[in-house]
């Protein structure tokens, strides 16, 4: 039996090497705002995701793949650059990556690849995020399948890397959803979650599933399915208590890799991140290791799912710049089991500062009051508490692991040129949604409107 397993692993390794030499295609299908727990293949007790679930039976399912920031633009920028948000510069929503940042386009085009995107873009500037053949219908709600069909027809004889970025299941959701409200699954973290909102979200998941099925059919139509590494993922968790957080429900994303005849179907618990995607694609394409990225190739995991990969993955959240803008920055580190979170502006910190007779910035107080139950430090055992409902930061038996993770987090932050330090200043960041101006989903107290004289450029802060 042992000899059989060795032969299988050896044969698969040889197959992977041979396929890399022939330059496989890459298709990366990215859905928008779908919680990892809302898939049958990840435990949802509903037949809501039949196409993804079938894909999971054909590919390698990653249990511990993470993005670093659960917002659309920062998550995508990390995926396309292989760099964490602060390093590539796009850590404030609706802003841009820093000039000169290299992307998957720069990594794969020298290897002869067409590198393109069809669907939702949500990253800038265009001088950084370049594409070989830009789609003419970017950022529309439904994926233009005629463009996908034309792309496969045009590129079927040469290697390509195509990102298909669906708008679904992102809201706004239908006011009168078709999915029965009494059948939705309300997860434990969804305090007072709207069943009507969940039903509308499920309607959008069904639309995304149809798009995914159409794409897979087009690959078969052009006989591209066998030499295509097909990846499915979602950029982060949904907006019902997962998005805009650094909890696993926001950062731990679904991730499935299918390569028919090359990758044995199964599951892996290898700790990985979106920063690993670009170097993985380059290795499978036969290229040399990529310089200037924060990730490393997980190609070896595709051969042996039992291998370990990253020692840590990291989380970032900047509440300034989102629709409901406020001051509440967070950072986190995860070792695959224990997840440590440091919150830089809490009521706990404000009380401590008040006891020292420090003047409290009114916008800091507003931000902290929006998270009244959140403590400065959080620690979760995600093996026994996957929803992260039991904060173990004050548990005396875990002092050592908390100290180790905290030290690792702040050391990593320094290596990323992060502007935050323990006990340091929290600056106001230039963004589309300044905290001293009211907007659609944020009301600034009238007496504080226009009160901030200086907003700092996120790129200058982190150079």
Catalytic residue IDs = 72
- Considering only CA atoms, which of 369, 374, 385 is closest in space to residue 343? 374
* Cα distances (Å, whole numbers) of residue 279 to 23, 338, 348: 15, 26, 41
Find tokens 């993985």 and name the residue. Answer: 280
Under a CB-based contact definition with an 8 Å cutoff, are residues 174 and 200 in contact? Answer: yes
Q: 352, 336 in Cβ contact below 8 A? A: no
Q: Residues 94, 73: contact at Cβ < 8 Å?
A: yes
How many angstroms separate the CA atoms of 202 and 179, rounded? 7
Torsion of CA 139, 144, 149, 152, to 10 degrees: 10
Q: Which two tokens stand for residue 428?
A: 């106001």
Q: Is the Cα dihedral 305, 307, 308, 313 positive or negative?
A: negative
- CA trace torsion 375, 379, 381, 384 (10° rounding): -10
What is d(CA 370, CA 330) in angstroms, rounded to the nearest whole number?
Answer: 14
Q: How far apart are CA 213 and CA 75, in angstroms?
A: 24
Burial of 56 (0-12, 13-18, 19+ CB in 10 A): buried
Helices 2-21 and 277-284: crossing angle, nearest 10°? 90
d(CA 47, CA 41): 10
Residue 47 CA to residue 183 CA, distance in Å, equals 11
Spatial distance between the Cα atoms of 348 and 136, rounded to a whole number of angstroms: 50
Q: What residues does 232 pair with on adjacent strands? A: 29, 256
């Amino acid at each position: 039996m042992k000899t059989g397993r060795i032969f299988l692993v050896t044969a698969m390794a040889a197959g992977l090497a041979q396929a890399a030499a022939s330059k496989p295609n890459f298709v990366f299908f990215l859905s928008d705002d779908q919680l990892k727990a809302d898939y049958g293949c990840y435990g949802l007790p509903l037949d809501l995701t039949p196409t993804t679930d079938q894909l999971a039976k054909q590919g390698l399912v990653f249990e511990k793949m993470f993005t670093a920031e659960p917002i659309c633009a920062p998550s995508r920028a990390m995926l396309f650059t292989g760099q964490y948000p602060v390093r590539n510069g796009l850590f404030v929503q609706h802003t841009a990556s820093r000039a000169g940042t290299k992307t998957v386009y720069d990594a794969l085009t020298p290897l002869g690849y067409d590198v393109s995107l069809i669907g939702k873009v949500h990253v800038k500037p265009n001088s950084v995020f370049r594409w070989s053949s830009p789609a003419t219908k970017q950022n529309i709600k439904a994926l233009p399948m005629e463009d996908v069909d034309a792309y496969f027809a045009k590129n079927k004889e040469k290697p390509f890397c195509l990102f298909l970025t669906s708008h679904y299941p992102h809201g706004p959701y239908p006011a009168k959803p078709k999915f029965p409200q009494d059948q939705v699954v309300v997860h434990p973290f969804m305090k007072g979650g709207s069943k009507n909102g969940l039903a509308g979200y499920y309607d959008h998941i069904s639309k995304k599933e149809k798009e995914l099925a159409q794409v897979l059919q087009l690959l078969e139509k052009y006989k591209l399915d066998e030499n295509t590494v097909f990846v499915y993922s979602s950029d982060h968790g949904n907006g019902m208590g997962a998005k805009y957080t650094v909890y696993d429900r926001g950062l731990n994303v679904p991730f499935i890799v299918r390569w028919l005849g090359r990758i044995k179907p199964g599951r892996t618990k290898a700790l990985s991140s979106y920063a690993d995607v670009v170097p993985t694609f380059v290795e499978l394409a036969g290229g040399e290791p990529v310089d200037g990225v924060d990730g490393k190739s997980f190609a070896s995991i595709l051969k042996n799912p039992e291998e370990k990969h990253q020692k840590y993955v990291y989380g970032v959240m900047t509440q300034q710049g989102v629709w409901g803008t406020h001051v509440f920055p967070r950072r986190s580190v995860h070792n695959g089991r224990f997840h440590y979170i440091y919150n830089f502006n809490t009521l706990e910190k404000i009380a401590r500062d008040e006891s020292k007779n420090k003047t409290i910035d009114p916008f800091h107080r507003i931000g902290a009051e929006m998270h009244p139950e959140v403590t400065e430090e959080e620690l979760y055992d995600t093996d026994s508490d996957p929803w992260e409902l039991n904060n173990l930061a004050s548990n005396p038996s875990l002092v050592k692991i908390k100290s180790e993770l905290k030290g690792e987090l702040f050391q990593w932050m320094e290596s990323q040129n992060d502007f935050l330090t323990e006990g340091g200043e929290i600056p106001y960041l230039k963004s589309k949604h300044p905290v001293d101006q009211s907007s659609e989903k944020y009301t600034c107290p009238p007496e504080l409107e226009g009160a901030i004289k200086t907003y700092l450029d996120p790129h200058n802060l982190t150079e």
